[in-house]
Amino acid sequence: MNERPTNPWPALLVVCLGFFMIMLDTTIVYIATPSILTSLQTSLDSVLWVFNGYLLAYAVLLITAGRLGDLFGPRNLFAGGLVLFTAASALCGLSQDATQLIVARVVQGVGGALLAPQSLAILTSIFPRERMGAALGFWGAVIGVSTIAGPTLGGLIITNFDWRWIFFVNVPIGVVALLGAFLIVPDVRPGRAHRFDVVGVGLSGAALLAIVYALIEGQRYDWGTITGFLSIPLLLAAGIALFAVFVVWERNQAEPLVPLRLFANRNYTLMNWTALAVAFAMQGIFLPLTIYLQSVLGMSALNAGLAVAPMSLVSMFVAPFSGRLVDRFGGKYFLMAGLLLFASGTGLVFAFASLESGWQTFIAPLMLAGLGMGCVFAPMTTVAMRDVAMRDTGVASGVFNTMRQLGAVIGSAVIGAVLQAQLAVDLPAEATSASTQLPPQFRDQFISGFAQAARAGFQVGVGQTGGAQLPPNLPAQAIALIQTLARQVFERGFIDAMHPTAVVAVAVLIVAAAGCIFIDSGRRVRVSEPVLAVAGD
C-alpha cells in the first residue's frame, strides 16, 4: 500500500488539462451558435439540441461513471473518457448537417461523463485535506481560463476559418492529456473494492433520461402530447416515479450506486443545489447573450468572444485566492457574496443591453459577474467535498457533477423555453407596430410572417430576422423597406424577449445565496479513512 504522491501538482496539471478541454468545448460552442445556425440552416429549437444532446448524455451517465471510477480506478476512466471525447470532437467537426452534429455531441457527452467525475476523485485522492482549497482554487481558475479561451479562441477560429475547427482544436489537447494521464497521474484507488449496482444504474439512468428529455422537449410539444399516449407530463411523472423507486432500492443495498449517507451531510446537500443553480444561471447568460452580440449588434464571433472576456479574466484571477482563503476561513460567506455578485452582474448585463450598446457597455457588469463566479467555484467544491469519505469520492463527485449538468440542462430548457415563448409574443407585437410604415395591403402578411416563425422554428443566426417570410410577389420598391423593417422588428423583439431570461437566472442565484446561510462552518475530524492504494504496487 502506498500513500498519496509527495508532489501531486504535476498530476493536477494533467487532470485540469482534460477538464479544461470539456469546459473549452462548452464555451466555444456558445460563441459558435449563430454561425452553426446560419451554416446548417437550422432553427433555434434544433440547435438547442447541440447543447442538450451533449448535456443529456453527460447528466444521465455521470453518477454511473463516478462509481465505475471507484471500481476500475479514476485514472483509467479518465483516460477512457479522453479517448471518446477526442474522437467525438473530430466527428463533430466532420458533421454535414444538424442531425450528424447532434449525434456526435451525444457521443462527446458520454466521453465527458466518463472524464468529469474522475477529475475531482483524483484531486481529492492525491491532495491532503489542508491543501484541498488551493488545489480546487487552481481547478476553479482553469474554469476561468476556459471561459476566456472558449469565446476568444472560438471567435478567432470562426472569424478566420470555419466553425468546424472549434471541435478539431480538441484533438491535440486530448492527445496531450491522454499521454499525461498514463505518464504522470498515479492510479490511486480506495483500499477496498466495490460491487456494481446494475439495478441502480438502470433506475437512475431511466429516471434522468425521462426527466431531462421532458424538460428539453417540453416547449416543442407545448408541454402536451408527443405521440399517441406519450406526453411530456407522462414522461415527467414516470421519471419522478422511477427516481422514487431508485431511492427505495438504494436504501436497501449494501453497496448502493449512490450512498444516501452522502446527503446526511448538510453541506454536501446544499452544495449540490448551489451547483445546479450556478449552472442554470450560466445558461441564462451565455445562450441569449451570444445570439444578441452577433445577431443583433452584428459583432463578429471574435469581437463577441472578446466582449465577454472581462467576466472570465476576473474569475480566473480571483478563483485561486478564494480557494486559499476558504482553507483558512471557510466558504460560507465567500459563497453568499459570490452568488449575489454573480446575480448583480448578470442583471446589469441585460439591463444595459440595447440597440446602441457596444462592447464597452458590458465591461463593468461582466467584471462584477466574474468576481462573483471566482468566489463561487472553489468554495462550492471545497465545502461539498470536504467531509466526504475517501471511499466515496468517485460517486460523490459523480453526483455533484450530475447536479451541475442537470442544472445546465434545466437552465437550457427553461431559458430556451422562456426565450422562444417571449419571441412568439414580442416579434408579432413589434411587427404590428412597425407595419404602420407599410402600405395597407402588406401589413397583415408582414405581421403573420413573424407569427408563423414561432410555429416553424425561430431562425436567429447572423443576418437573419427570426425566420419571418416576406410576403410573396412584392414590387421591387417595397422589398427594401420590408427587409429593413423586418430587421428592426427582429432586433427590438429579441432584446425585449431576452430580458425575462435574466430575471429567471437572477432569481435562482438569489435563492441559492439564501440557502448558503445554512452551511455548517465547523470542521469535522475524519476517522477511519481507508488507506489509498496505488494500483500495481
Max CA pair span of the chain: 85
**Is residue 468 in a domain?**
no
As to burial, measured by CB atoms within 10 angstroms (0-12 exposed, 13-18 middle, 19+ buried), residue 188 is buried
Contact between 63 and 204 (Cβ < 8 Å): yes
**Is residue 406 in a domain?**
yes
Contact between 67 and 398 (Cβ < 8 Å): yes
Looking up residue 389, the CATH number of its domain turns out to be 1.20.1250.20
pLDDT for res 527: 37
pLDDT for res 411: 82
- The helix, strand and coil proportions of the chain, stated in percent and rounded to the nearest 5, come to 80, 0, 20
Other beta carbons less than 10 A from residue 469's beta carbon: 15
Rounded distance, CA 402 to CA 204, Å? 11
Nearest alpha carbon to residue 416 among 291, 312, 301 = 291
524 grid coordinates: 469535522
How does DSSP assign 54-103, residue by residue?
HHHHHHHHHHHHHHHHHHH-HHHHHHHHHHHHHHHHHHHHH--SHHHHHH
**Is residue 222 in a domain?**
no
Rounded distance, CA 59 to CA 109, Å? 8
Nearest alpha carbon to residue 110 among 205, 185, 195, 244 = 205
**Is residue 85 in a domain?**
yes
HSE-up of 250 (CA within 13 Å, CB side)? 19
Other beta carbons less than 10 A from residue 312's beta carbon: 26
Rounded distance, CA 449 to CA 471, Å? 8
Nearest alpha carbon to residue 212 among 23, 397, 401, 407 = 407
**Is residue 451 in a domain?**
no
Rounded distance, CA 144 to CA 165, Å? 22
**Is residue 75 in a domain?**
yes
Contact between 125 and 78 (Cβ < 8 Å): no
H or E element: which one contains 489?
helix 476-515
Rounded distance, CA 330 to CA 441, Å? 68
Rounded distance, CA 225 to CA 142, Å? 43
Using DSSP, state whether 299 is helix, strand or coil.
Answer: coil
Q: Which domain holds residue 392?
A: 9-197+253-421+494-532
Q: What angle do CA 161, 162, 167 make, to 5 degrees?
A: 115
Contact between 497 and 155 (Cβ < 8 Å): no
Nearest alpha carbon to residue 465 among 446, 440, 478 = 446
pLDDT for res 205: 80
Rounded distance, CA 264 to CA 466, Å? 49
**Is residue 211 in a domain?**
no
The overall average pLDDT reported for the chain is: 80
Written as one letter, the residue type at 462 is: V
Residue with cell 464571433: 301
pLDDT for res 362: 92
CA 420 to chain centre: 19
Q: What angle do CA 514, 396, 259 make, to 5 degrees?
A: 105
Residue with cell 447528466: 59
Rounded distance, CA 186 to CA 81, Å? 17
How does DSSP assign 229-289, residue by residue?
TEEHHHHHHHHHHHHHHHHHHHHT-SS-SS-GGGGGSHHHHHHHHHHHHHHHHHHHHHHHH
Nearest alpha carbon to residue 150 among 282, 294, 304, 35 = 304
Contact between 40 and 98 (Cβ < 8 Å): yes
Nearest alpha carbon to residue 163 among 34, 54, 270, 76 = 34
| pLDDT, tens only, 67-85 | 788 778 888 899 999 999 9
**Is residue 384 in a domain?**
yes
95 grid coordinates: 458533421
Phi, psi dihedral angles at 110 (to 5 degrees): -60, -45
Q: How many folded domains does the chain comprise?
A: 1
Q: Which residues contact 68 (CB under 8 A, 6 or more apart)?
A: 77, 114, 196, 394
Rounded distance, CA 401 to CA 63, Å? 8
361 grid coordinates: 457597455
Contact between 20 and 82 (Cβ < 8 Å): no
DSSP code of residue 129: G
Residues of the chain with pLDDT under 50: 1-2, 524-537
The secondary structure of 330-342, three-state, reads: CCHHHHHHHHHHH
